Amino acid sequence: MDVQRTPGRESAHRIVIAGGGSGGLKLATRLGHRFRRDPSVQVTLVDASLTHVWKPLLHEVAAGTLDVHDDECDYLAHAHRHHFTFVWGRMDGLDRAGRRLHLAPLQEADGSEALPARSIGYDTLVIAVGSVSNDFGVPGVAAHCFSLDSADEAETFRRHLFEACLRAGQRGGEPAPGELDVAIVGGGATGVELAAELDKARHELADYGACGIDAVRDTRLVVIERAPRLLPGLPDDLVDATRDQLERLGIDVRTAEEVAEVTADGIRTRNGEFIPARFKVWAAGVQAPGFLDGLDGLETNARHQLVVHPSLQATRDARIFALGDCAACPRDARGETWVPPRAQAADQQAAFLARALPRYLRGATLPRYVYRDRGSLVNVNDSAFGTLMGALLGSVTIEGWFARVSYRWLYRAHQRALHGTLRACMLFITDFVSRRTRPRLKLH
Ligand SMILES: Cc1cc2nc3c(=O)[nH]c(=O)nc-3n(C[C@H](O)[C@H](O)[C@H](O)COP(=O)(O)OP(=O)(O)OC[C@H]3O[C@@H](n4cnc5c(N)ncnc54)[C@H](O)[C@@H]3O)c2cc1C
């Protein structure tokens, strides 16, 4: 089966974007508007999912403090509104000579085939398929750990955890050791924010009372980090403040502790200790999806990322671009440091390609993408802190109200990039109202 050109654009230049996440969806939206009245260019977005959820919100989805359905963006409706074509499918291969992108068969929940394997022709391809957790070869991770790689996985974790709490409550008596405990491996921003959000959720659950357990007393939260400190890249005083705050919430923070093995019942560390926990979340680092490795002869690195020039063009094919977490883009002229896998990098690269691709189609020389680190913000139980960086500011440390507003602003800026200022304001008002009228925890 083949996905063909849109009627009326039979001889158009086909720009295909694989992956509609932080970077890919913003790029498709911008290019859709850019070529709206130009029949010589057709923009198509391919994604394995039918809806987009901004990945930095997934720890809130996992804790149940955010209902995924409230904040998802429907690709089909978005494509219609922003003048591009959406194709539902999971990229699993590439034919560079024939300029075709292969899509795997799509399966129903029961395993039956919903759609057969297909392929899409392209003239220019942008690969923006993001990243997945890197288990670093630790035994038991794939079998026993949850991850926050997608909204579905975050939602699956939430459902299992809350159902376990409800079951324990209905059964009565003390929960078994580790039965309701959560061990989070990785003390970066994802692990720290997930732990704090789960603490918020267990207090909320305890307030509901109805589930029959004391969720605060009966659930134990542990964060395990291999490095000697949490939050690599943040200044020491902020790291100390974060640790203090987590410990004040009753979260067990273990640093300089390396995981040797994960089992169904818990985590064994290199120093021989066993930490019982039925629920394990792996948030210890990311790598690009494995199918990119050596994809039809393209250059990839040890983390399966596609190696690109500063123009974001693949080193071995000028028709193919990559952005975001799945791209290894040099940060300095000697190629010794690389752009980090962060939402702000994906966002900047999407804005860069939205300007550069029209020039590329006209045959002009491509500019170089330069990563601008805007700093890092971490939110622990509604008190955010971190660093902001900018040409005028240099690097400043922020805390309190301003940090909290800056943290929330990141998501609002993403919504504005997708929906425009007016709709983003309306979404803000809707969220404001619905957060005050709905239960603060998603239980079903
Ligand atoms: C819980 C959490 C919190 C985070 N917090 C922050 C933060 O505070 N600040 C920050 O800068 N970064 C943060 N990050 C990292 C940030 O989310 C990523 O760096 C960013 O989303 C990368 O954007 P991307 O466009 O490369 O990929 P993604 O946003 O991951 O999007 C990838 C898209 O590709 C699709 N896809 C995947 N495989 C295929 C395929 N084979 N075929 C078709 N489609 C495919 C997916 O469905 C998805 O829509 C966080 C990440 C997590 C998990």
CA pair distance 232, 241, nearest whole angstrom: 14
- Per-position pLDDT tens, the chain of length 444: 555 566 666 689 999 999 999 999 999 999 999 999 999 999 999 999 999 999 999 999 999 988 888 889 999 999 999 999 999 999 999 999 999 999 999 888 788 888 899 999 999 999 999 999 999 999 999 999 999 999 999 999 999 999 998 888 888 778 888 899 999 999 999 999 999 999 999 988 888 775 677 777 889 999 999 999 998 877 888 888 889 989 999 999 999 999 999 999 999 999 999 999 999 999 999 999 999 998 999 999 999 999 999 999 999 999 999 999 999 999 988 878 999 999 999 999 999 999 999 999 999 999 999 999 877 777 787 666 666 665 555 566 666 666 667 777 788 889 999 999 998 888 888 888 877 777 677 766
Protein residue closest via CA to atom 52 of ligand 1:
56
Chain position carrying tokens 């189609």: 361
Protein residue closest via CA to atom 8 of ligand 1:
56
Planar angle of CA 311, 371, 96, nearest 5 degrees: 30
Is any ligand 1 atom within 6 A of the Cβ of residue 19? yes
Give the distance (Å) from ligand 1 centre to CA of residue 96. 25
Q: What is the pLDDT of residue 395?
A: 62
Is any ligand 1 atom within 6 A of the Cβ of residue 189? yes
Give the distance (Å) from ligand 1 centre to CA of residue 211. 34
Contacts of 40 (CB under 8 A, 6+ apart): 9, 11, 12, 13
Is any ligand 1 atom within 6 A of the Cβ of residue 342? yes
Is any ligand 1 atom within 6 A of the Cβ of residue 344? yes
| Full-model pTM | 0.93
Mutate-to-test residue for ligand 1 from 51, 342, 389, highest number of ligand atoms within 8 A of CB: 342
Residue from 100, 101, 82 nearest 91 by CA: 101
Residues in the chain: 444
- Give the full edge-to-edge strand order of the sheet including 317-322: 85-88, 41-47, 13-18, 124-127, 317-322, 313-314
